[in-house]
Amino acid sequence: MTQLYNSRKRILVTGGAGFLGSHLIDRLLDEGDEVVCVDNLFTGSKRNIDHLHGNPRFEFLRHDVCFPLYVEVDEIYNLACPASPIHYQHDPVQTTKTSVHGAINMLGLAKRLKCKILQASTSEVYGDPAVHPQIEEYWGHVNPIGPRSCYDEGKRCAETLFFDYHRQHDLKIKVMRIFNTYGPRMHPNDGRVVSNFIMQALKGEPLTIYGEGDQTRSFCYVDDLVDGMIRLMNSSDDITGPINIGNPVEFTIKELAKEILEKVKSKSSLVFVPLPLDDPKQRQPDISKAKELLNWHPKIQLNDGIKSTVSYFESFLDRAAN
């Protein structure tokens, strides 16, 4: 218990001013919990949590998880880490520090508090996968010294730390491997494919297809993802993960471009540019475990999710113009 006369849960969300973190916080507050949001605002924005100021159950702390943190909470969701290739490659050393030192500090905090902790891991731990679709037992195919390694290996090391704290200190852990997720509050300049294509289509600029556009991804809408994350946190203690959460419907990047052009009713052309180094050729989660253990499956189809994401970016551009 964090407070003598309060039966509500007090939950720490690191990276809470980011895309996924801010949606998670909205859901936790809707459920009646108290939330402490910790973020250094490296890629996140106060705009994502502006609507929460004044809510007595919400608290924001500007803090870098690479440094120790002493707060009193009942549960921890550890999301702090830049997620898009442009952002995590901007300062790769800091990216690894955030994943590794950040995990150590948050695990140390959870150990002192004897509380549950969930790690936002990633499909990138599978690298450029040789097993398709990806099952949790697959150990991955990751370049340890390339431009994506700061993120991929940082996240892999964080998973190692989670399982060692679990084995060595009996910590209650939940490791979630998140596959490409999209939706409102994605950063417009984060270089990810959904935000890039929608912004380009809205501005009438050519859509930049990297390589031939035959590489595949499976896109999960943010509301589905947050639902899976909360279900995992609330699952019984023996469910540690790692567990894949994502939408298994797979699209080529060219198909995604076509879908976005239709939704925006844009006449933008397609331009083909070189494929970045180590760009995974295919990605699709096997979500059998999430279905069986969490009774979770994604409900929102790309068609509907893209519509609300386009509306978000339209109002973002309107605000920027006024």
Q: Residue 84 in contact with residue 192, Cβ under 8 Å?
A: yes
Looking at 29, 104, 157, 161, which residue binds ligand UDP (CB under 6 A)?
104
Whether a cis peptide bond, with omega within 30° of 0, leads into 144 is: no
Give the pair of three-digit tokens for residue 210: 């990297």
Q: Which two tokens stand for residue 229?
A: 């994350």
x/- mask, ligand NAD, residues 57-96, rule CB under 6 A, reads -------xxx------------xxxxx---x---------
Which option in ligand UDP, ligand NAD, none does residue 233 bind, with CB closer than 5 to 8 A by kind?
none
Whole-angstrom distance, CA of residue 193 vs CA of residue 25? 25
Cα 212–Cα 217–Cα 219 angle in degrees, nearest 5: 135
Work out whether the CA dihedral 93, 96, 98, 101 comes out positive or negative: negative
**Closest by Cα among 303, 289, 118, 136 to 221:** 303
- Residue 70 annotated as catalytic: no
State yes or no: residue 215 binds ligand UDP (CB under 6 A): yes
Q: State the sign of the Cα–Cα–Cα–Cα dihedral 154, 156, 159, 161.
A: negative
Of 151, 165, 182, 221, catalytic: 151
Smallest gap, in angstroms, from Cβ of residue 314 to ligand UDP?
19
Query: Which of ligand UDP, ligand NAD, none has residue 215 at its interface (CB below 5 to 8 Å by kind)?
Result: ligand UDP
Strands 116-122, 75-78: pairing kind: parallel
101 strand-pairing partners: none
Identify the burial level of 104 via C-beta atoms within 10 angstroms of its C-beta, where 0-12 means exposed, 13-18 middle and 19 or more buried: middle
264 binds, among ligand NAD, ligand UDP, none (CB under 5 to 8 A by kind): none
Considering only the stretches 9-17, 200-208, 270-278, 307-315, report the one whose residues sit in contact with ligand NAD under the rule CB under 6 A: 9-17
Positions 164 through 203 that interact with ligand NAD (CB under 6 A): 178, 180-181, 187
Q: Which is nearer to ligand UDP, 51 or 62 (CB)?
A: 62
Piece of 14-22, 39-47, 64-72, 135-143 that binds ligand UDP (CB under 6 A): 64-72
Q: Which does 134 bind (CB under 5 to 8 A by kind): ligand UDP, ligand NAD, none?
A: none
Q: Is 253 in the site for ligand UDP (CB under 6 A)?
A: yes
Among 217, 260, 290, 296, binds ligand UDP (CB under 6 A): 217
Phi (first) and psi of residue 205, to 5 degrees: -90, 160
Among 31, 68, 212, 262, binds ligand UDP (CB under 6 A): 68
**Nearer to ligand NAD (CB atom), residue 21 or residue 213:** 21
- Residues 38 and 86: their CA atoms lie apart, in Å, by 22
> Which residues are known catalytic residues?
151
